[in-house]
Amino acid sequence: MTTEKTILDYDTVALDDTDSALVIIDQTKLPGKIELLRLHTAEEIWNAIYLLQVRGAPAIGVAAGFGIYLLAKQIDTTDFLIFYEEFSRAKQYLDSSRPTAVNLSWALNRMEQVVLAHKNEPIPTIKQLLKETAIRIQEEDIDICRRIGEHGLSLVKPGDGILTHCNAGKLATSRYGTATAPIYLGHERGYEFHVYADETRPLLQGARLTAFELQSAGIDVTLICDNMSAMVMKQGKVNAVFVGCDRVAANGDAANKIGTSVVATVAKHYGVPFYVCAPTSTIDWNTPTGADIMIEERKPSEVTDMWYEKRMAPEGVKVYNPAFDVTDAELISGIVTEYGVARAPFTESLKKIKLLKENEENGR
Ligand code: MRU
């Protein structure tokens, strides 16, 4: 008997080293069509990140790791200084594709550290180490998401209603997702959650991606418009909110997809716990508060034209299209990391998380 492949059977991001290609699912085509893209050049990789063909903070980090390895592989020199100069140029270029998700620069910096730490080695050895590190970033992502899932699962009970915003799912990571990890793990264990997926205007990641992947997994998911979260919370249908994030500041303020802070405010009003799921690669201890996070602004046509048969707003109208907003730490019940759940005061609890991470890394 052959079972049909679903979106869950495809890698969000993969390396095909034989063809020197970064392979991604083109997420702009979902849910209508599952199409794989093979990216070879710096421009192709930059565009794929910028256009959200690959998106979601951890997946962007994994793509950047494989991407910079492939670009480094193309550098044809035996001279370290020339190699490093070209590597740095490629790194800077990829880093400029999107500004908010810190995982992009986190992954690129980690790859750069490999180069610097082995500057006395032959270039082929450095290239091999870059490949191994990029693969490790992806493997760690799977493990980290699973750990986030376990900690998140301890915060809910069978039969609960869970609301999520945007897509912090498998399509935003290598497996499980962050905000969806407790949902997937719970599903494996028969928890029978009822999930509400916000559609997430203007790019509809909730409708196109979260509803699609959860439905494909056989999870009970109901799609709602962004402006319906207060309604379902007031009706008592939501026991917890899980969202992902793109950057957590040292004080616990968290940037995530536009509209997240509206959900957090409504959740506080109705007494529903609001959890931000974040691998430590998304925590930026060098950014003191949410006010210091750069928020990406995108094209007006995403609001006025995209998804409509005909433009639906008056020609010439002013449009403001920030892609993310910052949820104030005081609205967050907990930040679910791979090392456990950080609670207020976050400045202190996130420092403890950092220590746990350093201890684990030093013990390796
Ligand atoms: O613009 P996107 O689709 O890349 O935004 C994605 C989000 O905001 C996600 O919630 C976040 O990156 C976390 S993904 C685990």
Place of tokens 């008997």: 1
- Is the pLDDT assigned to residue 364 strictly greater than 90? no
Mutual angle of helices 42-50 and 80-95, in 10-degree steps: 20
Task: Extract the tokens encoding 340.
Answer: 């456990």
197 lines ligand 1 (CB under 6 A): no
Pocket test for ligand 1, best of 13, 52, 167, 199 (most atoms within 8 A of CB): 167
Q: What percent of the chain has a predicted confidence (pLDDT) above 70? A: 99
Torsion of CA 320, 325, 326, 332, to 10 degrees: 140
Nearby residues of 211 by Cβ (< 8 Å), 6 or more positions away: 31, 197, 221, 223
- Relative to beta strand 254-257, strand 247-249 is antiparallel
Å from CA of 165 to ligand 1 middle: 9
Q: Which ligand 1 atom is at minimum distance from the Cα of 165?
A: 10
173 lines ligand 1 (CB under 6 A): yes
Q: What integer pLDDT is reported at residue 4 of this predicted model?
A: 85
Q: Would you tell me how many other CB atoms lie within 10 Å of the CB of residue 301?
A: 13
- Relative to beta strand 240-243, strand 274-277 is parallel
Average pLDDT for residues 244-267, to the nearest whole number?
Answer: 98
Å from CA of 250 to ligand 1 middle: 19
Q: Give 228-242 pLDDT, tens digit per residue.
A: 999 999 999 999 999
Per-residue b or e along 304-318, where b marks 16 or more CB atoms closer than 10 Å to that residue's CB: beeeeeeeeeeeeee
246 lines ligand 1 (CB under 6 A): yes
49 lines ligand 1 (CB under 6 A): no
Average pLDDT for residues 173-186, to the nearest whole number?
Answer: 97
57 lines ligand 1 (CB under 6 A): yes
- Is the pLDDT assigned to residue 75 strictly greater than 80? yes
Average pLDDT for residues 11-30, to the nearest whole number?
Answer: 98
SS3 96: coil
Pocket test for ligand 1, best of 205, 274, 284, 336 (most atoms within 8 A of CB): 205
Q: What integer pLDDT is reported at residue 3 of this predicted model?
A: 75
pLDDT band at 1 (very low <50, low <70, confident <90, very high): low
Q: Which ligand 1 atom is at minimum distance from the Cα of 277?
A: 15
Task: Extract the tokens encoding 13.
Answer: 């991001």
Look up residue 283 and give its DSSP letter. E
Closest CA relative to residue 39, chosen from 61, 9, 69, 77: 69
58 lines ligand 1 (CB under 6 A): yes
Å from CA of 361 to ligand 1 middle: 26
Å from CA of 169 to ligand 1 middle: 9
Inter-residue contact 242 to 162 (CB < 8 Å): yes
327 pairs with which residues across the strands? 254
Q: What's the CA angle centered on 251, arms 247 and 255, to 5 degrees?
A: 25
- Is the pLDDT assigned to residue 291 strictly greater than 80? yes
Inter-residue contact 143 to 364 (CB < 8 Å): no
256 lines ligand 1 (CB under 6 A): yes
Max CA pair span of the chain: 66
Mean pLDDT (the chain) is 97
pLDDT band at 2 (very low <50, low <70, confident <90, very high): low
Q: Give 292-348 pLDDT, tens digit per residue.
A: 999 999 999 999 999 999 999 999 999 999 999 999 999 999 999 999 999 999 999
Å from CA of 79 to ligand 1 middle: 39
Å from CA of 257 to ligand 1 middle: 6
Pocket test for ligand 1, best of 175, 246, 248 (most atoms within 8 A of CB): 246
Q: Give 260-278 pLDDT, tens digit per residue.
A: 999 999 999 999 999 999 9
Active-site residue set: 246
- Count Cα atoms within 13 angstroms, Cβ side, for 224: 22
Å from CA of 168 to ligand 1 middle: 6
Q: What integer pLDDT is reported at residue 72 of this predicted model?
A: 98
- Is the pLDDT assigned to residue 206 strictly greater than 90? yes
Average pLDDT for residues 43-64, to the nearest whole number?
Answer: 98
Count how many residues are written for the chain: 364
Q: What integer pLDDT is reported at residue 363 of this predicted model?
A: 87
Inter-residue contact 274 to 264 (CB < 8 Å): yes
- Is the pLDDT assigned to residue 152 strictly greater than 90? yes
Average pLDDT for residues 21-39, to the nearest whole number?
Answer: 98
Q: What percent of the chain has a predicted confidence (pLDDT) above 90? A: 98
- Is the pLDDT assigned to residue 284 strictly greater than 80? yes
214 lines ligand 1 (CB under 6 A): no
